[in-house]
Amino acid sequence: MTAAPIVIVLAAGEGTRMRSSLPKVMHSIAGRSLVGHVLEAAAAVEPAHVVVVVGHGRDQVVAHLEEIAPWVDTVVQEEQRGTGNAVRVAVEALAAQGVLGGGPVIVLSGDTPLLTGDTVRSLLTTQQDSGARATVLTADLDDPSGYGRVVRDADGMVVSIVEHRDADEGTLGIREINAGMYAFDPQALVPALGSLTTANAQGEEYLTDVIGLLREQGDPVAALKVPDSDEILGVNDRVQLAEAAALMRDRINRRWMLDGVSMLEPESIWIDVDVDLARDVILLPQSTLRGPTSVASGARIGPGTTLISCEVGEGATILHAWCELAVVAADATVGPFTYLRPGTTVGAGAKAGAFVEMKNADLGARAKVPHLSYVGDAVIGEGSNIGAATIFVNYDGVDKHPTVVGRHARIGSDTMLVAPVTVGDGAYTAAGSVITEDVPPGAMAVGRSRQRTIDGWVERRRAGTAAAEAARVAQQEEAP
């Protein structure tokens, strides 16, 4: 039985063209960092060990890896002296640990987020089945300018990799390029790495020179051409980051549409890799689903909606809303222009309507907050109705306090519920009230002054104004 492979991920480069204080491999697309995508692809071959070579911004990268993939090892390339040097540093660390066995060594680039697990598996299989000492991952490009060309013999084995600047006219016509990712027999890789030199224009140790050394001594080198050249695209600047994000978006959206999700304008819909969608979900334009969001069958999301780490039940509708760490239960409706903040639950058949903000609030089944209200640190019972412009006054300037509204209660428009306060089951509050004391079940609470009307005030205090003139005309029309 063939030993499990070891995967080395190269992530030490500075990425100067990103023009960022964040190390290049930590930039993200579709809710996952560039290096995180590569590690996910590497996991497809069930490696015995994964080693990430770090260098620039090492503290940030190591901390990031400890968060997203604590099972990987890291090794530091103190000076960025080329890909060959980076692999040698990793191999030496593996050998020192006594874990460099007989299994293949796969080398991947940490800035190729579109690489798939299927391709990594195929790379490993090709290496194992071909009998070669190394396998090069390649791709056909319509414009291969600047890339090293892969020259093969009649049997399809690699003869050489010729850099663009060194290629003659015939070699320049080759469209197959070296993707910079490989599988090696460790028994061939280790001595070849020891023979690398820095006798080149960059003064670096090139991993491509290992392929040349193997060929010089007559060792066979195979190649695996990816069917989709997008997979091997690296990210070196913000333009390429955006291009990779768009390609990932299209890949994710296509998969979901083929699995039964409707998207009326897929190019405007962005879905993270950790999102889970059921069949018959409808996603409308300008919607974004981030983090571990899940959406159940029949739910309708958008337009103009962002969900971050949310759970949405069957048949729910959310439009023109921003929701984060919230739960929207089956058949509930949210929006338009609604903000659900962390800790909010909208119960089955409930409604959080237009211009409503909710935070750490539990809206019971079939309860309604239809419009223009703030609900914070609250529990609202089933079937209750919160009138327009109601404010749950939860903050006293120092601490937050809870409000409880019972089942089938009615809160009048423009009510202020000053927490901590409880409104009992079936109770009412009058419109315009400020409620500072508990309201018993079935009671009506009125917390406002009696209206006082001062006749003739406008004529006396606002004489000569348009209001005074309008009042004068109205009084004349009403006079007998």
Residue 131 has, within 13 A of its CA and on its CB side, a CA count of: 2
Closest CA to 360 of 343, 347, 381, 373: 343
Decide: 351 and 371 in contact? Cβ < 8 Å.
Answer: no
Decide: 175 and 141 in contact? Cβ < 8 Å.
Answer: yes
**Catalytic annotation present for 401:** no
- The label of the residue with tokens 């006054």 reads 393
Contacts of 254 (CB under 8 A, 6+ apart): 266
Helices assigned H by DSSP within 313-405: none
Name the CA dihedral angle for 135, 137, 141, 145, rounded to a multiple of 10 degrees: -80
| DSSP states along 83-108 | HHHHHHHHHHHHHHHT---SS-EEEE
Question: In whole angstroms, what is the distance from residue 387 CA to residue 353 CA?
Answer: 11
User: In a 3-state reduction of DSSP, which class is residue 179?
Assistant: strand
Question: In whole angstroms, what is the distance from residue 15 CA to residue 34 CA?
Answer: 12
Question: In whole angstroms, what is the distance from residue 335 CA to residue 322 CA?
Answer: 9
Question: In whole angstroms, what is the distance from residue 271 CA to residue 285 CA?
Answer: 12
Token digits of residue 291: 């983090």
Question: In whole angstroms, what is the distance from residue 359 CA to residue 342 CA?
Answer: 6
State how beta strands 306-308 and 321-324 pair.
parallel
Could you tell me how many helices (H) and strands (E) the chain has, helices first? 10, 39
Instruction: Please tell me which residue in 27, 164, 371, 401 is annotated as part of the active site.
Output: 371
Decide: 18 and 24 in contact? Cβ < 8 Å.
Answer: yes
Tell me the one-letter amino acid at 365.
A
| DSSP states along 225-289 | E-S-GGGG----SHHHHHHHHHHHHHHHHHHHHHTT-EESSGGG-EE-TT-EE-TT-EE-SS-EE
Contacts of 175 (CB under 8 A, 6+ apart): 140, 141, 142, 144
Decide: 384 and 407 in contact? Cβ < 8 Å.
Answer: yes
Question: In whole angstroms, what is the distance from residue 456 CA to residue 80 CA?
Answer: 86
Token digits of residue 263: 């998207």
User: Active-site residue numbers?
Assistant: 371
